[in-house]
Structure 1
Amino acid sequence: MVIKSYRSQAELLLQNYVLADPFILSTSVISGIFACKMIYDLSQFISPVYFKSYSSLAKTKQIEWNNRAISTFHAVFVATMSLYLILCSDLYSDNQLRGPITLRSSKLSTSSLGVSVGYFITDLGMILWFYPSLGGMEYVFHHLLSMTGVTYTMLTGEAQVYTFMVLISEATTPFINMRWYLDEAAMRRSRAYIINGVMMFLAWLVARILLFVYLFYHYYLHYNQVMQMRVFGRLLVLVVPSLLTVMNLIWFWKISKGLKKMVAKRH
């Protein structure tokens, strides 16, 4: 009876919130797409003025330069919102009176996810349009997987706590992009390149390895609440983080090898 009651609450939330005010969803997604377009154009306008190496890049490299500005913007935005909602707000606190933690959402959390969906739509579109200049099939798979999970939690309000935990991992993106920028600026031997490499390693360790360990531990502690979600929601909560964990471990191994090689050359 309790499980049915909570499921009814989730369905009521979907009907009363999403259908009653669809502009929140559509506006947030469109805002995400518009913000990506604005950042791309801004990068295209500012970069030649402040970065001498930009003008000497090939056209495809300039496109990637501007595209990485978009991903940096999204990473800063979504990581900040995720940290705020998880650590600072009481939306996902262990308050039994507010019902299962897996069924909680708010206008702020849902609209934040909408902006993220707008980014994934834009970036995936660019990856496919310029394929394979901006990334191969692993990027397409990553974006489709991420967009499916984020869209589902945005529309239903289910498992948003786990979605934001996963989105905190975007905090590593600025360091990845900075590495690319420094590389294209022929600064591989600079101190900034070394410092950024160390920061990228540490950020990846915390945000994409240790955080995912905690996510599965949190999943275990709240297993009964997770089981109150729809079947598709439970599948996403288990499958998406698991697949991302495998990808994160592979990339972390490559980052570790690269950092070790870089430090060895330095000495």
Structure 2
Amino acid sequence: MLVSEQATMGITLYQNHAEQLLKDYVLADSFIPCTSIIGGIFASKVVYDLTQTISAIYFKSYASLSKMQRVEWNNRAISTLHAIFITTISLYFVFWSDLYSDQFAGLITLRCSQLSTFALGVSVGYFLADLGMILWFYPALGGFEYVIHHLLSIAAVAYAMLTGEGQLYTYMVLISETTTPGINLRWYLDATGKKRSRAYVINGVVIFFAWLVARIILFMYLFYHFYLHYDQVKQLRSVGLLLVSVVPLVLTVMNLMWFVKIVKGLKKTIAKTQ
């Protein structure tokens, strides 16, 4: 009888301990980042497989592509959906949400929410999955500059997600993903033999203005905002201060380099149509 009671008490204690561990895990700060990162990686895999299946059925030109082109076709579908997702979230937090409003007390550089952290985690998951593909097929999906871009993005976004520091500036930078769907569409038009079409020309013009706004003017606004709130920015830890200042600066240089290429490409495209 005594042994039975001790066994029952042991089981009860074990159940209570297990429930407490589960509760602590669910409520832990690491739960949202971990699940969102895994979700981002898993979503990338699902989109890749779905794109492969749907494209083979509904796009006749897909079968005529080389193996590497089909891989890139599927990969660009992932980046397009991620761009739509993170751009929508970023625009909401930067321009419509009250989370980073100056009207409320407290440092805007230290504000975060469960939603803002979750969205950044999904983005980290995407960048990890995409970087993995870039390295696996290197340099077919992108050269050295793409590796640098993704490493900087992962470092900055992951830090903001894990610490809650500088999330506002991280979302400002992520708005630049607005240009990704247009860039991907341009590749699709080229791959399907529509490089001389009117849609290709229109796409080039749209990319030019989207890049100018999202990757040049917006970054100027970011640095201006950074300057106005420097008294708050300087209170970040050294790593956070380095990331919110250096990463946008490096990306600005890369954006300007790519913008020069876009302008040259647009000029050639327009010249061929005349």
**Per-residue Cα deviation, 1:56-85 (whole angstroms, up to 9, x for no partner):** 111011001000001001100000000011
Compute the displacement of 1:260 (Å). Answer: 1.2
Compute the displacement of 1:19 (Å). Answer: 7.8
Q: 1:58 aligns with which of 54, 66, 69?
A: 66
**Per-residue Cα deviation, 1:163-183 (whole angstroms, up to 9, x for no partner):** 000000001000000000000
CA contact (8 A) 1:60 1:133 kept: yes
Q: 1:30 aligns with which of 17, 33, 38?
A: 38
Residue identity in the other structure for 1:190 = S
CA contact (8 A) 1:18 1:155 kept: no
Q: 1:73 aligns with which of 77, 81, 89?
A: 81
Which ranges in structure 1 are unaligned for 5 or more consecutive residues? 1-15
Q: 2:200 aligns with which of 193, 196, 203?
A: 193
How far apart, CA to CA, are the structure 1 residues paired with 2:199 and 2:268?
16
Please say if 1:160 is aligned against 2:176.
Answer: no
Counterpart in the other structure of 2:113? 106
Distance 1:136 1:19, change over 3 A: farther
Which ranges in structure 2 are unaligned for 5 or more consecutive residues? 1-23
CA contact (8 A) 2:25 2:31 kept: no
**Per-residue Cα deviation, 1:65-116 (whole angstroms, up to 9, x for no partner):** 000001001100000000011111100111242x011110000000000000
Q: TM-score, normalised by structure 2?
A: 0.89
Q: Considering only aligned residues, what root-mean-square deviation do their CA atoms show, in Å?
A: 1.5
Which structure has the higher relative contact order (CA within 8 Å, separation 6+)?
A: 1
How far apart, CA to CA, are the structure 1 residues paired with 2:71 and 2:250?
29
Counterpart in the other structure of 2:241? 234
CA contact (8 A) 2:40 2:124 kept: yes
Please say if 1:87 is aligned against 2:85.
Answer: no
How far apart, CA to CA, are the structure 2 residues paired with 1:18 and 1:119?
23
Counterpart in the other structure of 1:5? none
Q: Which has the larger radius of gyration?
A: 2
Q: Point out 4+ residue stretches in structure 1 off by more than 6 angstroms.
A: 16-19
CA contact (8 A) 2:226 2:233 kept: yes
Residue identity in the other structure for 1:47 = S
Please say if 1:41 is aligned against 2:49.
Answer: yes
Aligned residues: 251
